[in-house]
Amino acid sequence: MKLTTFLLVIALVPASAREAFSQISLNAKHATLASVLGSIKQQTGYVFFSGDIDLNKTIVDVKVNNVSIDEALAVCFKDLSLEYKIKEKTVFIKEKEPSFLDNLKDKIKAAMAQTTVSGKVTNELGEPMSGVTVKEKGTQNAVGTDAKGTYSLTVSDEKAIVEFSFIGYETQDLKAKDIPSGSVIILKSAPQNLQEVVINKGFYSEKQELSTGDVSVVSAKTIEEQPVSDPTLALIAQVPGLNIQQASGIPGSYATINIRGLNSIANGNNPYYVVDGVPFSSTTLTDYNGIHGGAIVNSPFNALNPNDIESIEVLKDADATAIYGSKGANGVIIITTKKGKAGETKVNVDLNQGIGQVPHFIDLLNSQQYLQMRHEAFANDGIPFPSLANNPQDNNYDVNGEWDTTRYTNWQKVLIGNTAHYTNAQASISGGNANTQFLIGAGYNRATTVFPGDFGDKKGSLHFSLTNTSSNQKFKTVLTASYVNDNNNVPNEDLTSSITLAPDAPAVYGTNGLNWQVLNGTATWNNPLAYTLTSYNAVTNNLVSNLNLSYQLMPGLLISSSFGYNHDELNQTNLVPATAFGPPDNMSPYANESNFATNYNSGWIIEPQLSYQRKISKGNLNVLVGGTLQQNTTQYYSNTGLGYTNPGLISNPEAADIYFLSNYQYSVYRYEALVARIGYTWDDKYLLNLTANRDGSSRFGPDHQYGNFGSVGAGWIFSKEKAVTDAAPWLSFGKLRFSYGTTGNDQIGDYQYLSTYSPNSTTYQGISGLNPTALANPNFSWEVDKKLEGGFDMGFLKDNINVSLSYYRNRTANQLVGYPLPSVTGFTSIEYNLPAVVQNTGFEASIHTVNIKSSNFSWTTLVNFTAPENKLVSFPGLPGSPYAYQYVVGQSLYIREAYDYTGVNPQTGLYTFKTADAGGVPSYPTDIAHTPPLTQKFYGGIGNNFTYKSFGLDIFIQFVKQLGYNPEYSFLNQPGTFNSNQLTSVLGAWQKPGQTASVQLYGTESNTQNLYSAYTLSNAMVTDASFIRIKNVELYYRFPASWQGWANMQNARIYIRGQNLFTFTGYKGLDPENAANAQLVLPSLRVIMLGVSALF
């Protein structure tokens, strides 16, 4: 606090007049005139007026000691083409007025020597480049090329050097006399220098080269190339250390994202997300309380448009995340949207359309095999084969004659075998001048499903950004806003779970709509298409906006503040008519049910900051102090209507017999932080970065709200040492970096420290009840994460090969858990700090190489690799705790409780396990062993980009080495039971004594069922789920420059994109990517899209 106040005084004092000192001392070498005059002003209180003259561009050398203002100014302005006048305590500066003779002399000279160069500038493909700066070197004399790439510049004489420059291209210098009139200048694209990339670390930005932290950047190109509507899905396998698992292939479904493994045993492992400086809630708004069903959870990131994103930065280590203090424990993901660039107004259009299908089906039994299995099961159990005539109450409808056993339905084809269609249209207008730039983008995206019926997700979005810089370059305003409307009517259940229906199950449609195959007034099956009669709709409206103001108080000292606001709202309607149930459930008017839910999450954030930058000798000092004030409000309402006499009125709550508010939630979260950072670089060689953070969160009890966090980052750019460059001239860049620090985690619910009562939604004697909802524990506090990292960043052969290697170790202590309580306390858990320590270590690498670069052909490769490891380091009191069987000290948190499977007994045909008492069904917890960790051993991606003349090909391959659940796990019923189809792998089941088999005999009875249940809870359910997947492919063709010029277009391309094209795996399930998920879910679809894009 004291430090801040002190700095504020320093910062604000120059704004007020101060007593003058007559004696002035100056010692500046190669300093800007602005800084020298600033120093005089500081010493004397004299102020300066300079009109349009930029004093930062004038360089002076001054050394005076205890002189008067007149002397000091005389020294300063010596040799300058400027003159000054002192009036009281104000100094007016203007350009020297040349004498008449001088003028005349110049004019004659100029007229004799002046020459004009003109022509056209194109890129290597011959496409005209607009906005290229054409400048007479060493002067302010410059023009820009127009839309057709043409320019004309008058230079002082023909010896003048003309410079052509454009960001991302190699600058070319030519003598004026060497430029024939009308000639074409071709600019070569500059090799991408990774170290030059400016990374956004939240409160501040810096060059990758000078960063001591570990930050990965994913560019707009990588995101745009992928046919996804959720931008986080575009990050899959792109970033070392970032693990993303999509819940299913249904449009808009949720993905679990974590950076560098599980840190927390029980609470949030979500990274902290920031969109344009505004925190973005990663917890989904979709709350199904009161909305029935709900296998599918909407991803909150579906409310962002991937095409609006300029870059995504993933902050991983302590150095990078410490500035986020309490929220950085699980890493930080910063999403920055596109901004306008100076230049002529341009329109960018991108249109594409495509299809998606389930890439791979599993092998299930056909009717004949299925019925044979059922017959064998009854024979094994010694049960007479069921017959409707002999035993009409029996529910073995698939074999007893009720269902037509000659039918065969391939349920995979019926339920998930359709083609999804995608349409995506994006357009943006951008432009501006040196002071003001703008961008307006609009998008429309539609995705349907592979399920039968007309379902899908539609998204419309609008994005704009406005940037203004005052003409004195001091005052800067950036305003951005994004608005997305997403309309999702994807059914709220995943039909993939129904593919195990018996292959001889009835036809889905009968003569009057859905067929329930009624027997004695009761449906004999749950028709999987019942959902087509229900209606689920979720509309999301999301606004993210941010205003950033900054003002340069004096050279090097910047005061700024960011003001962010976001509002995310979700409206859900779920209509379930009684007709969606089979008889007799469809008879009650109360079976007609509708649910309406409204849900919002709204927040603001203000982040003022003061930063100071100063060059001290060879060193460069950066100091930053800042703060955060943040509030977040969430509210949820749901209403339920029951007892509609006519299903046709189900969407009208007025027609309900009973209509009531079934749930209401409201909570407020507040957060404040004070941040200080000192960065120091010496000679651009030695780097030091110190960060400190004091945070307060409303989620903790009154005495535990604040936490202190901090980090140290250090780096050494050894390639700048002469000894190194002499010994290894092939080394173009080399940096050694190290960081250590602490961050926190407060990802728990609000108000958990209070003992509270919440109302019932119903009344008793007209009075709404109050229920005890939480036990008070005012003593829990921050979960603390200690991060350690060391790394090498190197460039070889003129940065044609860039390698970055990191090793990290994160240790999380003081674990926040809902500690299970015995139920005699009346509650199941209490929020509690568990003294357990979880460690995540890992090795990460990324390599970027330019393999070939010639004028016609280029080939670049990008590889990333991660090998993570998770370990429970310590857990005092584990044996007596509720986690006693779940975790083992020294092992990963990804292990699972499991019985030790020992194969099928060749004599009995039954599964056997290692048990404490002889044989039989293993018992819990005596016979509990553990599986190896069900997680990745290593993973990564390999991207290759090829260009040949006008063609380009990008191929991205994902690879994962991991263990997952055996697909059998998701079937859950033992082979031989009613209405439960199986994988064809069960065909090798045991049949006679002496036979060696891997599958136990078929059965319907509980004794075999018990062993089957034990089998599904055994280590036999763990299998290798490694895979290599051709994740993304893009092939494009750029239209010839001549066409483009004719149509007044630039960068016009036609492209074909594919995602999840092929997967190489030994895994038998639908999708190895979902192997950590023990349920049957829709796999990621194979998507192919065709599109065009152009810039006008």
* Interacting residues with other proteins between 94 and 113 (CB under 8 A): 94-95
> 10 CB contacts (<8 Å, ≥6 apart)?
none
| Residue 610 in the binding site for other proteins (CB under 8 A) | yes
Asked if residue 213 lies in contact with residue 317, where contact means CB atoms within 8 angstroms, the answer is yes
The total of other beta-carbon atoms located within 10 Å of residue 1064's CB is 12
Provide the minimum distance between the beta carbon of 608 and other proteins in the complex, in angstroms, as a whole number. 4
Regarding 608 and contact with other proteins (CB under 8 A), the answer is yes
Smaller CB separation from other proteins, 65 or 771: 771
DSSP 562-612: EEEEEEEEEEEEEEE-GGGS-TTGGGSGGG-EEEEEEEEEEEEEEEEEEEE
Start-to-end C-alpha separation, the chain: 53
Choosing from 512, 771, 854, 996, the residue that interacts with other proteins (CB under 8 A) is: 771
Give the count of residues interacting with other proteins (CB under 8 A). Answer: 120
604 contributes a contact to other proteins by CB under 8 A: no
- 698 lies in the binding site for other proteins (CB under 8 A): yes
Q: Which long-range contacts (CB under 8 A, 24 or more apart) does 281-284 make?
A: 281/568, 281/601, 281/603, 281/632, 282/257, 284/254
Contact with other proteins (CB under 8 A) among 8, 86, 434, 507: 8
- The one-letter amino acid code at 750 reads D
Residues 471-530 that bind other proteins (CB under 8 A): 471-472, 474-475, 519-522
**Taking the complex as a whole, how short is the minimal distance between the CB of residue 396 and other proteins, in angstroms?**
11
Give me the count of residues in the chain: 1096
Cα 707 to chain centroid, rounded = 27
Alpha-carbon distance of 760 to 771, in angstroms, equals 7
Q: Report the site for other proteins in 385-404 (rule: CB under 8 A).
A: 392-393, 395
Q: How far is the CB of 180 from other proteins (least distance, A)?
A: 23
Of the pair 68, 755, the CB lying nearest other proteins is at 755
Q: Does 925 bind other proteins (CB under 8 A)?
A: yes
Q: Does 796 bind other proteins (CB under 8 A)?
A: no
User: For 902-968, where are the alpha helices, taking DSSP H only?
Assistant: none
From 33-41, 398-406, 940-948, 1044-1052, give the range in contact with other proteins by CB under 8 A: 33-41
CB of 94 to other proteins, least distance (A): 4
Footprint (CB under 8 A) of other proteins, residues 205-264:
none
* Cα–Cα distance, 332 to 529 (Å, whole number): 42
Among 754, 852, 1047, 1090, binds other proteins (CB under 8 A): 754
Q: Is 565 in the site for other proteins (CB under 8 A)?
A: no
**Among candidate residues 727, 718, 713, 711, the one with its CA nearest the CA of residue 684:** 718
Instruction: Kindly state whether residue 16 participates in binding other proteins, applying the rule CB under 8 A.
Output: no
Q: Which residue has the tokens 């994103």?
A: 309
- Tell me: does residue 53 bind other proteins (CB under 8 A): yes
Interaction between residue 671 and other proteins (CB under 8 A): yes
Residue 468 pairs with which residues in a beta bridge? Answer: 436, 477
* Per CB under 8 A, 758 contacts other proteins: yes
Name the DSSP letter for residue 1085.
P
Provide φ and ψ at 1030, rounded to 5°.
Answer: -80, 95
Tokens of 969: 């796990």
User: Binding residue for other proteins (CB under 8 A) from 220, 427, 553, 788?
Assistant: 553
Per CB under 8 A, which region of 667-675, 835-843, 1061-1069, 1085-1093 contacts other proteins? Answer: 667-675
Which segment (70-78, 124-132, 604-612, 864-872) binds other proteins by CB under 8 A? 604-612
- The residue among 471 and 512 lying less far from other proteins, judged by its C-beta, is 471
| 822 makes contact with other proteins (CB under 8 A) | yes
Query: Helix axis angle, 33-44 relative to 69-77, nearest 10°?
Result: 180
* Smallest gap from residue 958 Cβ to other proteins (A): 36
Q: Which stretch binds other proteins (CB under 8 A): 614-622, 636-644, 724-732, 933-941?
A: 636-644
Within a 10 A sphere around the Cβ of 1046, how many other Cβ atoms?
A: 10
Give least dist CB 390 to other proteins, A: 11
20 Rama class: left (phi>0) / alpha (psi -120 to 50) / beta: beta
Say whether residue 583 binds other proteins (CB under 8 A): yes
Q: What number of CA atoms fall less than 13 Å from residue 1051's CA on the CB side?
A: 12
Q: How many CA atoms lie within 13 A of 1012 on its CB side?
A: 23
Nearer to other proteins by C-beta: 355 or 655? 655
* Closest distance to other proteins from the beta carbon of 175 (Å): 21
- Minimum CB–partner distance for residue 266 and other proteins (Å): 15
Residue 368 binds to other proteins (criterion: CB under 8 A): no
Type and span of the H or E element at 1033: strand 1027-1038
353 close to 422: Cβ distance less than 8 angstroms: yes
| Binding-site member from 168, 382, 826, 994 for other proteins (CB under 8 A) | 826
Distance CA 1002, CA 989 (A): 7
Q: Which is nearer to other proteins, 358 or 605 (CB)?
A: 605
Q: Decide if 544 contacts 276 (C-beta within 8 A).
A: yes
Q: Interface mask (CB under 8 A) for other proteins, residues 445-464, using x and -?
A: --------------------
CB 132 within 8 A of CB 101: no
Task: Using the rule CB under 8 A, give the single segment among 18-26, 530-538, 695-703, 728-736 that binds other proteins.
Answer: 695-703
In angstroms, give the least distance from the CB of 829 to other proteins. Answer: 9
Select 115 or 395, whichever has its Cβ closest to other proteins.
395
Q: Supply 547's token pair.
A: 């205003």
* 1006 forms part of the interface with other proteins (CB under 8 A): yes
